Structure 1
Amino acid sequence: MLRDRLRARAEAAGLDGLLLLAPGNVVWATGWAFSANERPLGLWLPVEGDAVLMVPSLEVENAADVPGVGLRSYDEYPGETPPVLWMIAEARAQRIGVERLDARLLAPAQDVARIDLTDHATPERAVKHPEELALIREAARFADMVLDRLLTAGGDIVAQGGTELDLMADATSHAEAALMTTHGAAFQGTKLGITASVHSGPRAALPHGAVLPRTPSPGEPVIAGIGCAVGGYHAESGATFVMGQPSPEHRRIMAAMDSANAACAEALCRGLDCAGVNTAALEPIRAAGLGEAIRHRIGHGMGVEGHEAPWLAPGDRTPAAPGMVFSCEPGVYRPGHDGWRSIETFIIAPDGVEIASRFQTRTPSDIRIIPV
């Protein structure tokens, strides 16, 4: 059980318990898909005794159905006593692990208990269990469905003057309808849905640009990035399509990105640390003379949050291990000209890397073409 693993970590660290405050950690440890806002929520998890959810009073009814936990509430935020200090006092413990704490509250918190700021939850979240992996695979399947629809229907939409917005709306509504028909009843009350972005032409060089009423033109790339959540667990899939036949330059870029995908999978299999995986995965792009067009890390972890640790990026020394789930997102961005990105969901298995998102495997880069 997840909470038992956290209790064991707390006990090994000489703590009386853990107070989880990061929303992703609370969701993961309770299964409660609450709406995070300015009012803090916490889960007190003592080494001995029952777990207790600590919530603002307006959430009491919503929290009452969370299984296996007690419930305490405070009146309102910010309050005469900051809610987090109230939680620490309510724990009635001498040694408390808190993974997230406003620096302004550290001194007064230490007047109540000895505070350990080690994040004991993130290492446990990083390695997924079979039930979690099943949800991630299913989320990847529906993310792929958006790309399949874009490939089959995109040409007709653009031929009728359709825009980035139209392409995104058609593909996401198609997949969301299937998602809700398949899982809407079973996962009611959890995070369930699809997010997407579609960027074309020179605007594809903006990784987080707005989706606009712009009609893609022949010869332009169209980047589609898709995220899906099923039962509160996330996966991603993404690809760059070409309007009409790709040029030799287009093919060169896509080949470099395919090589980056393969290098990322190989580095994960070798158990490199996350920073090392990032370096190895980006090397094929640099070797293709596109190093100046790299704008971001190769990927990130996924689970109850769409972006979560570990990070396939400089500075993260977490060793890759079986059960971890990562996005792999090679990107080439040339401002004022074009942009290219693909996304796959990788699950590290004991004997290799499982690719949970299958669109790129089923649809090689040379046939990701939207007819014009």
Structure 2
Amino acid sequence: MNNEYQNRYARLQASIARRGFDAALITSTDSIYYLTGFRYLPFERAFFIVVRPEGEMVIVTPRIEAENMATITLPHRIVEYTDYPAPSGETYMDALGSVISPSEKIAVEPSMPAELMVATGEYNPEVVPLIETLRLVKSKDEIRRVQTAAKYSDLGLRMIMEAAKLGTTIKGGYDRIPELRSEIMKGEGAFDQYTSSIWLGVWAAPFSAQPHRFPEPTDIFREGPNVGLSFLRVNGYSAETERTFFLHEPSAEEAEVFATMLAACDIAYGMLKPGVSAHEVDHQVMSFLRSEGFENNLLHRVGHGIGLGGHEGPWLAEGSDDVLEENMIISIEPGIYWRGQGGFRHSDTVLITSDGYRQLTDFPRDIKSMTLA
């Protein structure tokens, strides 16, 4: 893994040099983890990694974290500050000021908290997605780790569907989270609480028409399209599997909308390969759905990137500037929604290959398999 971090650090330095910056300030927890493997929860204490086009990184850290730096294998120098808050001369800005100067051209991350952006204002920082751009294309190790997460994501969705019964609450799916966690620990030997999470959720009809409503454990399964989502992060890397399923024989209208949703997915899959515009994928899918009369039933884009985060670039959306590249990992999840009735959406975790794509999640998607009557 050390070679992986060395490669990421070298690529970041090259990007800083290419863009003409004197230094970049890395502050987000995912960026710190991506660059070094160090797990850090900042709370109120600021933490900076200062990276220059050449040389070792400088870590500006509260004293309480300094001993933990031993887990960072890349060459680095530590500059400590006392605490937060601290008296003048001992603050994080005093420590940061000892390693950068206002005359330098500084890059910061889009996710930098507003408090830090204001505090570093004297350096006139420029917001540039340096690490976010590096994360778009995955290494072999990252692909392997997402594939591992995808395996457990499929298992989680199977648990959700096994627990679903007409007239019962959706709580049965939530109740299986400890079982899934145990399966991950048994299979991987670890479930790192800092970089792992499990969300098994079901939008029972008609709430499946509200894909960003948080399902309540008291929601009850009734007739209509239900949407189950297994959304995991396993020891650092994420995956998702999502399916529309029925606990009764679907009506002719429900079967027709389900088929249209699958057709929309297939349009997206038919376009996936390196060099394709992410905007164009979404545009073609949305144009199809609008032509089928669903222009008032669309709530979101076709998909998004998956990696350290469950939602990251590239963005498969109309207006996106992203272009697909080999070894990007994305979701494909066009949806159709009727308020008061329900929604239809499948989602899979998908790897862009040299000549097309490969699904990393592997779960049935046909209406027969998704009818559990």
- Shorter-chain TM-score: what band? 0.7 to 0.9
**Distance in 2 of aligned mates of 1:7 and 1:279:** 35
Does 1:183 find its partner at 2:188?
yes
Question: Residue 154 of structure 1 contacts residue 370 of structure 1 at CA under 8 Å; is this kept in 2?
Answer: no
**Distance in 2 of aligned mates of 1:356 and 1:168:** 24
**CA shift for structure 1 position 41:** 2.1
Q: Which letter maps to 2:29?
A: P
Equivalent residue number for residue 80 of structure 2: 73
**Distance in 2 of aligned mates of 1:87 and 1:297:** 43
Does 1:89 find its partner at 2:101?
no
Equivalent residue number for residue 313 of structure 1: 317
**Distance in 1 of aligned mates of 2:118 and 2:335:** 44
1:215 maps to which of 220, 223, 227: 220
Deviations 1:184-215 (A, max 9, x none): 33x64652342122111111111122222122
Question: TM-score with structure 1 length normalisation?
Answer: 0.87
User: The residue matched to 1:177 in structure 2 has which SS?
Assistant: helix
Equivalent residue number for residue 4 of structure 2: none
**CA shift for structure 1 position 105:** 6.4
Classify 1:99/1:363 alpha carbon distance in 2 versus 1 (closer, same or farther; 3 Å).
closer
**CA shift for structure 1 position 258:** 1.1
**CA shift for structure 1 position 225:** 1.3
Equivalent residue number for residue 47 of structure 2: 41
Structure 1's unaligned 5+ residue stretches are none
Q: How does 1:224-263 map to 2 (within 5 A)?
A: 224-263=228-267
Equivalent residue number for residue 3 of structure 2: none
Classify 1:11/1:237 alpha carbon distance in 2 versus 1 (closer, same or farther; 3 Å).
same
Does 1:343 find its partner at 2:347?
yes
CA RMSD, Structure 1 to Structure 2 (Å): 2.6
**Distance in 2 of aligned mates of 1:289 and 1:191:** 42
**CA shift for structure 1 position 286:** 2.2
**CA shift for structure 1 position 87:** 5.7
Deviations 1:199-258 (A, max 9, x none): 1111111112222212212x3222111111223011111001111111111111211221
Q: How does 1:1-372 map to 2 (within 5 A)?
A: 1-68=7-74, 69-77=76-84, 79=86, 85-86=93-94, 88-92=96-100, 94-100=104-110, 101=112, 109=120, 111=122, 113=123, 115-151=125-161, 153-154=162-163, 158=165, 162-170=168-176, 172-185=177-190, 188=192, 191-212=195-216, 213-217=218-222, 219-269=223-273, 271-359=275-363, 362-371=364-373
Classify 1:250/1:73 alpha carbon distance in 2 versus 1 (closer, same or farther; 3 Å).
farther
**Distance in 1 of aligned mates of 2:332 and 2:274:** 16
**CA shift for structure 1 position 281:** 2.6
Aligned residue pairs total: 361
Question: Residue 7 of structure 1 contacts residue 47 of structure 1 at CA under 8 Å; is this kept in 2?
Answer: yes
Deviations 1:288-336 (A, max 9, x none): 3222111111111111111112222233201111111111121122111
**Distance in 1 of aligned mates of 2:115 and 2:181:** 43
**Distance in 2 of aligned mates of 1:317 and 1:177:** 41
Q: Which letter maps to 1:243?
A: L
**CA shift for structure 1 position 344:** 0.8
**Distance in 2 of aligned mates of 1:295 and 1:38:** 36
Question: Residue 149 of structure 1 contacts residue 174 of structure 1 at CA under 8 Å; is this kept in 2?
Answer: no
Classify 1:38/1:278 alpha carbon distance in 2 versus 1 (closer, same or farther; 3 Å).
farther
Question: TM-score with structure 2 length normalisation?
Answer: 0.87
User: The residue matched to 1:126 in structure 2 has which SS?
Assistant: coil
Classify 1:234/1:107 alpha carbon distance in 2 versus 1 (closer, same or farther; 3 Å).
closer
- Report which of the two has the higher share of helix: 1
**CA shift for structure 1 position 31:** 1.5
Structure 2's unaligned 5+ residue stretches are 1-6
Question: Residue 200 of structure 1 contacts residue 223 of structure 1 at CA under 8 Å; is this kept in 2?
Answer: yes
**Distance in 1 of aligned mates of 2:189 and 2:15:** 36
Q: Which letter maps to 2:138?
A: K
